[in-house]
Amino acid sequence: MQTAVVKIGKVTTCNNIFLAPMAGITDIPFRGIVKAMGSGLLFSEMISAEGLVRDGRKTQKISDIDEKERPVALQLFGGKPESMGKAAEILSATADILDINCGCSVKKVLKSNSGAALLKDLKLFEAIISAVVKNSKVPVTVKLRSGWDKSSINAVETAKAAEACGAAAVTLHPRTRCQAFGGTADWNQIALVKKAVKIPVIGSGDLKNEADVKKMFEETACDAVMIGRACLGNPWIFREVIYFQKTGKLREKPLLKEKIEIIKLHGEGMAFYKGEKAGMLEFRKHLLWYFKGMKGLRHLKPLVNSLETVTGLNKILEIAGKGDLCGQMM
C-alpha cells in the first residue's frame, strides 16, 4: 500500500489520508495539529448556510482558515437551494473545496431538511448540489450516508446523482441515518459506489488503525479515506497510517513528552483562537480524550472539569508529564 495523491477538481492533495469534518471538533486549532501530523486534506466543522447568509458572527468564525493548513474543505449544510447557493458564493472566496453535508443524523439538522434528510428527497438533493456547484469558485464534494434506513439504501443512486450535478468527489460513510454511529459500517457500499462513478470516492467509517485503513483500500478500491472519531485524543494516527503506507511497518507510538507538547500546543491554540476561558472550557473534552486510558484518569477528571485558564492547563500537564495523574493541582 502506497501513499497516493488525489485530484479533486483543481485541487491535488499530497496524500489520501483525510481528516473528517466533526461538529465542535475540527476547528482551526485542531486542524493545525492534524496538519502537522501529515493529513492530506482537512475538513471544517459544519457551517450553516442560513446562519452564514444572515451574517451570523459565530457562523463566520467557523469558516475561518489559516493559510498554513491548506488545502481545507469547508463543509456546508442547509435545506434551501437559494441559501446554499449564496453561502457557496461567500465561502468559495476563501475555501479550497466546498463540501455539502448530506449525512448528518442530528435531529436539529434533519428538521431543516438538511444533512441525511436530503437522502429521502432526491429532487431537493440534486437542486442543492446544482446550486452550490453553480455558485462555487472551487470544487464541490458531497458527504453521504448509505441511506435513510436499511430499507432505503441508495448510496449508488445518490453518488451518481451528485456526479451528474457536478460534484468533484463523494465521501461515503456506509451507515444509514437510523444507525447513526451504531452497528458496523458496510464497506461493500463504498466498493459499489466506486464502481458506479468516475469521480474520486472517499471512504469513511470504522477506521481505527493502520490495518483498518489498509483493509478499506483493498476491499473497496476507494481513492482516499477519512478518519474521524479515531483521531480524538490521538492525532498521531495520521502520521502512523502514512508511515505504514510508505514502509509497511508500524511507527512507534509517541512518548509521553511529545504528547504533553502537542496537548499544550493544542490548548494554547484554543485559548488564542477562542479566548482563554471559552477556549479552556471547550478544551476540557479534548484533554479527557488525550488522557484516556492513562493511569489515574479518575483523579484527573476533577482537575479537567474545573479548567478555565492556560495556567491551570500547564499545571495539569506538569502533573501528567511526571506520569502522575493522581496528583492534585495547587
The CA-based angle 181-111-156, given to 5 degrees, is 55
Rounded to the nearest 5°, which phi and psi values hold at 99?
-115, 130
Kindly give, in sequence order, each residue whose CB lies less than 8 Å from that of residue 23, ignoring residues fewer than 6 positions away. Answer: 45, 46, 104, 106
Kindly give, in sequence order, each residue whose CB lies less than 8 Å from that of residue 103, ignoring residues fewer than 6 positions away. Answer: 115, 116, 119, 143, 144, 145, 173, 177
Closest of 32, 123, 142 to residue 76, by C-alpha: 142
CA distance 95 to 72: 6
Kindly give, in sequence order, each residue whose CB lies less than 8 Å from that of residue 14, ignoring residues fewer than 6 positions away. Answer: 5, 40
Kindly give, in sequence order, each residue whose CB lies less than 8 Å from that of residue 210, ignoring residues fewer than 6 positions away. Answer: 240, 241, 244, 250
- State the Cα torsion 158-162-164-166 to the nearest 10°: 180
Catalytic sites, residue numbers = 104
Kindly give, in sequence order, each residue whose CB lies less than 8 Å from that of residue 221, ignoring residues fewer than 6 positions away. Answer: 191, 194
Closest of 126, 112, 109, 152 to residue 21, by C-alpha: 109
